[in-house]
A = this chain, B = another copy of it.
Amino acid sequence: MLSRVRSVVSSLVGGLLPGPGSAETTGNGAGSATGDPGQTAARFSYGRPDFLNLNTDELECSADHMARPILIPREAGRKMPWNTGYAEVINAGKSTLNEDQAVCEVVFVKRSAEPITNRSTNGWSRTTGSVGNGDSMEADVQMDRMEDDGVTFIYWALFDGHAGAGASLMAANLLHHHVAKQLQGIVELLRSDAGNAPICLDDDGVRPRRPSGQASAVIRGVGSPPPTSPGTPSKTPMEKEVTQDALVIGAIENAFREMDQHIERDKTKFHVPGGCTSLFAMYVLGKLYIANAGDSRAIIIRGGEVVPLTGEFTPETERQRLQYLAHLQPHLLGDEFSALEFPRRVQRKELGKKMLYRDHTMVGWSYKTIEENDLKFPLVYGEGKKARVMATIGVTRGLGDHDLKVYDSNISIKPFLSCVPEVRIYELATQEHTPNDVLIIATDGLWDVLSNDTVCDLVSNFLENCDPSDPNRYTLVAQELVMKARGVLRDKGWRISNEKLGSGDDISVFLFPLHYGNRAS
């Protein structure tokens, strides 16, 4: 089984990359996207993930839209934690560069001795520097031990760019630093056994505050006066408990926001085109935090069953949010778009007739009489992969896109986009896992042509037939997934089984086993 796969891959890769059995040494990728954290204010040059370790020739070959070689980490290269597998392929020609970017890092967050240092114009505080530099394998089992002066997290991220590679390159280089910076402010709290987070911090550090007074007895209902009139401090305040999980989620949410503002700032000095979706998994203190802004997807396969970890943020899934904004701030539509959704374009000859529609309040559909305003182009239009906001963009959360305008107009789309991720938690340390239980993170290039169940079957069958001692098996299965989604080039384009169209998009897949999380806990 394995040798068959290797042989197939070898012919697909066409000698560009060393096969799993080879051990060539290669130069450093001159065009690599990884930068010294001290140089993050510089614009990032295009490259492939640093763990692929491509040289200049290989980088060039990787962008061959006809051959579409599948790239995997070379065995002799830098090891990723947890035996992480990875594979990627470029698109079939829709953009010159591969606009996906992938990052895998082990990051140590040092407790801040002094107030958190602000990012200088020149780079980052070294207290949040990455230590993922080659020998992290040994650190796996002990990695979430409470170190005296900080906490460590493992980070796997995918960024799917559009309209240029600039935003995805920036996010790939910097988002984990923003996460580290946000976590730095709460390292002390995460390390404590106190349980809930202190509501208010004293000037000199953490102060657990929980007044002993009774909660004020507010009767449910209306018309009763406020517990205290606005502005007057309450003597017996009610308090909400805030968990450590909620602190980490807040840190991740703020990291995305800071990252988005960072891109906006840097656009004044550099050329940072486009935007990108962002999806990462972060392992810290026994838990996996999955943060998603866009239409990439993460699933867990456990005991041969699928556990979905992410939602999807598209014009269809976020239609009501978009319509609500347009309803409240109609000037954002620029007098060219209608906030209502119709099942298809309305034609002028249909004025006065009844047509199905829905507004921001509705999940169902109803009929309305078509008026002049309904002839405008709909804010949200199209279905599935063809759905668009203002006929322009097919994804509604992510980073960048600050200058994105409707074609041939001055109407800005950014107000409708959100940079906030949905964060979910998977309590890894408290679950039992076998080496065949894996987490898969992939861009929509994979999921557009392979369903969760198909991926589950492929992965489960593949891993069952693998040599369990082969450290490359997770990369081999990632490679298998990319190959299945890309297909092979025939007369009529890229095809998968049954003559179905393969994915012409960039495809990137991380795949790693979960039992390391059990061992680490």
Query: Contact between B225 and A350 (Cβ–Cβ < 8 Å)?
Result: no
A250 surroundings in chain B (CB, below 8 A): 358, 362-366
Check: A220 CB closer than 8 A to any chain B CB: yes
Check: A375 CB closer than 8 A to any chain B CB: yes
Query: Contact between B364 and A252 (Cβ–Cβ < 8 Å)?
Result: yes
Q: A221-B163, A222-B394, A230-B337 are in contact. Are A199 and B247 (CB under 8 A)?
A: no
Secondary structure at chain A's binding surface: helix, strand, loop or mixed? loop
Check: A344 CB closer than 8 A to any chain B CB: yes
A163 surroundings in chain B (CB, below 8 A): 221-223
Chain A: residues with Cβ within 8 Å of the partner, total of: 100
Listed by A's residue number, 28 A-B pairs whose Cβ atoms lie within 8 Å are A162-B221, A199-B343, A200-B353, A200-B355, A201-B353, A201-B354, A220-B386, A222-B274, A222-B393, A223-B407, A226-B392, A226-B407, A229-B377, A230-B336, A233-B347, A234-B345, A238-B382, A239-B344, A240-B343, A246-B363, A246-B365, A250-B362, A250-B363, A253-B361, A253-B362, A328-B328, A328-B329, A364-B423
Q: A199-B355, A201-B353, A252-B364 are in contact. Are A343 and B242 (CB under 8 A)?
A: yes
CA distance A363 to B245 in the complex (A): 11
CA distance A392 to B233 in the complex (A): 18
A60 surroundings in chain B (CB, below 8 A): none
Task: State the number of copies, please.
Answer: 2
Nearest B residue to A388 via CB reads B218
Q: Given contact pairs A233-B346, A240-B343, enumerate 15 new A-B contacts (beta carbons under 8 Å).
A: A182-B366, A215-B386, A220-B385, A220-B386, A220-B505, A222-B394, A224-B392, A225-B391, A226-B377, A226-B392, A246-B365, A248-B364, A250-B365, A253-B363, A254-B366
Check: A219 CB closer than 8 A to any chain B CB: yes
Check: A237 CB closer than 8 A to any chain B CB: yes
From 326 to 343 in chain A, residues with beta carbon under 8 angstroms from any chain B beta carbon are 328-329, 336-337, 342-343
CA distance A226 to B413 in the complex (A): 13
Check: A481 CB closer than 8 A to any chain B CB: no
Query: Contact between A376 and B231 (Cβ–Cβ < 8 Å)?
Result: yes
Query: Contact between B364 and A407 (Cβ–Cβ < 8 Å)?
Result: no
Check: A427 CB closer than 8 A to any chain B CB: no
**Contact for A240 among B234, B344, B418, CB less than 8 A:** B344
**Contact for A197 among B219, B365, B407, CB less than 8 A:** B365
A362 surroundings in chain B (CB, below 8 A): 249-250, 253-254, 420
Shortest distance from the beta carbon of A119 to any chain B beta carbon, whole Å = 17
A382 surroundings in chain B (CB, below 8 A): 218, 238
CA distance A252 to B385 in the complex (A): 29
Check: A408 CB closer than 8 A to any chain B CB: yes
CA distance A241 to B234 in the complex (A): 54
**Contact for A365 among B233, B242, B336, CB less than 8 A:** B242
CA distance A223 to B405 in the complex (A): 8
**Contact for A222 among B162, B336, B355, CB less than 8 A:** B162
**Contact for A361 among B233, B348, B418, CB less than 8 A:** B418
CA distance A140 to B348 in the complex (A): 47
